Amino acid sequence: MKLPCITMLATLLLTVPAAAQLQITPPATVPSAAPEKQKQPKPPAPAKKKEAAPKPSASPKPAPSSKPTPTPTVIPAPPTDNSNADLVYGAYQRGQYKTAFELATARAQAGDPKAMTMLGELYSNAMGIRRDYAKAAEWYKRAADAGDREAMFALAMLRISGRGGAVDKGEAVKLMASAAKLGEPKAAYNLALLYLDGQTLPQDVKRSAELLRQAADAGLAEAQYALATFYKEGTGVPKDPERAVRLLQAASLADNVDAEVEYAIAMFNGTGTPKNQPAAVALLRKASRQGSAIAQNRLAWVLINGVGTTMDKVEGFKWHLVAKTAGKGDPELDKQLSDLPAEDRAKVEAAAKKWLGNK
């Protein structure tokens, strides 16, 4: 499975893939095409073989993909030494963007870097004013020149995506590096991806790991998840399944869906952490409700086979159909579904339709 498209990244920023190895083993009574009684689950992609449970595949080394991601949203932190600036931030937090714009304009003209960053944010995201990337870049630059790390990162994202001016990856990298040195975790994370990608910067997985660690230590869930895949695979760092699981747990607590899926898998199999199948199934349910097709497919298997939870074929096949609509089809589950009594199939289809209709 691939790393998520992080909401903090710019449109052209590349992300890192990471495979989720699932080893959920259904009961031995489930028919299997292979001679072993216990089979491990298949990777996220649809499998053509018919077997009792998905077979594992080797996790690919993290490598860049070309999937674009949205423009970052930078929320300027309120300074603690200026009550007027706090009023600006307070209005922003309450969604009173026009008020925030008026207050920030006055503060920016008085030389407040945080207010300048706020104006860049408002212009960039069309909050209380018409979107204008050129003006956003102008305010971000003024704030960046004054030493504001969030403005440096935001301006880097505009430069790398070509918004508010021509694409300038060289300037973007310099801004990102400066912001990372000042402790901006999103800048460290994005810079790590550029080192991993090897296009804008020379590929350097060790440097990428260092930057991911910096961002992960600062609490950025996306970096925690990415670094977990590094420790799981031994990419740029020594292989360490236990540390990988701790990072997955931290990212899961921050509602990172992909981390939830992998942490659930680790708990289900007892890989790098004590086995806890009920907790794993609960986390798969959560990730399924959050829209993870991989979690939905895995949850379908455990419910249909009653592994780690009470057997519920109707609910299980419901999640199978939901996952299938998201491109995670499963030929073996299709076959098992066709073998259900017509009345149960109707219940499954109605449940899936209801779920999808509510989305």
- pLDDT on residue 84: 54
- pLDDT on residue 5: 34
Cβ count near 232 (within 10 Å): 27
- pLDDT on residue 358: 72
CA distances from 207 to 20, 192, 237, 293 (A): 24, 7, 10, 32
Quick one: how far is CA 312 from the chain centroid?
30
Residues 43 and 20 sit within 8 Å (Cβ to Cβ): yes
Token pair 């998905």 is found at 54
- Residue-wise pLDDT tens digits, 219-241: 999 999 999 999 999 999 999 99
Residue 148 has pLDDT above 70, yes or no: yes
Separation CA 277–CA 269 (nearest Å): 8
Portions of the chain given CATH number 1.25.40.10: 83-233
Residues with Cβ within 8 Å of residue 149, at least 6 apart in sequence: 178, 179, 182, 183, 184, 187
Name which residue leads in pLDDT, 17 or 93: 93
3-state secondary structure of 71: coil
Cβ count near 134 (within 10 Å): 11
Separation CA 147–CA 251 (nearest Å): 30
Summarize the confidence of residues 185-211 as an average pLDDT: 97
Q: DSSP string of 195-235?
A: HHH-SSS---HHHHHHHHHHHHHTT-HHHHHHHHHHHHHTS
Residues 319 and 299 sit within 8 Å (Cβ to Cβ): yes
Q: Quick one: the chain helix, strand, coil %, rounded to 5?
A: 55, 0, 45
Cβ count near 148 (within 10 Å): 27
The pair of structure tokens assigned to 346 is 């109707």
CA atoms within 13 A on the CB side of 79: 16
Summarize the confidence of residues 187-198 as an average pLDDT: 97
Residue 23 has pLDDT above 90, yes or no: no
Residues 117 and 154 sit within 8 Å (Cβ to Cβ): yes
- pLDDT on residue 50: 32
Summarize the confidence of residues 15-39 as an average pLDDT: 31
3-state secondary structure of 36: coil
How many residues comprise the chain?
359
Q: Looking at domain 83-233, which of 1.10.10.10, 1.25.40.10, 1.10.645.10, 3.50.50.60 is its CATH number?
A: 1.25.40.10
